[in-house]
Amino acid sequence: MIVSFVKKPCIHCPFRSDVRPFLRAERATDLAYSAQNPYSSFVCHKTTVSDEDSEEGEMMCVETTKECAGFITLKAAELGEEDVAECEEGFKPAYDIVYQSVDDMIYAYEEEAV
């Protein structure tokens, strides 16, 4: 269980609206919709480690893995800060650099794919 969070979205965060979309549109859509579920989680890729036993180079969570700040921000935008547990624990959403809604994120990634 992830009990901590990254304070700000990193430059490679897929939820940032101020960087060029880089995921496949289908993957971005899945991630965006998961932000509408108060029980969903998405870890920051910078806080995972490579699973050396994996043939496909999968990443795995470790004791120092943290929740993604961009994901928490989008979740707060969709659900309201009062319904996002991390906000109660002191997280400050980065609304200025994260998509304002699931629809905004999906649209940006679909437009990039064209």
- What tens digit of pLDDT does each residue of 59-113 get? 666 677 788 999 999 999 999 999 998 988 999 999 999 999 999 999 999 999 8
Domain boundaries, the chain: 25-113
Residue-wise DSSP of 7-49: SS--TT-TTBSSS---S-HHHHHHHHHHTTSTT---B-GGG-E
Residue 57, pLDDT score: 61
The predicted model scores a pTM of 0.86
- What tens digit of pLDDT does each residue of 19-41 get? 999 999 999 999 999 999 999 98
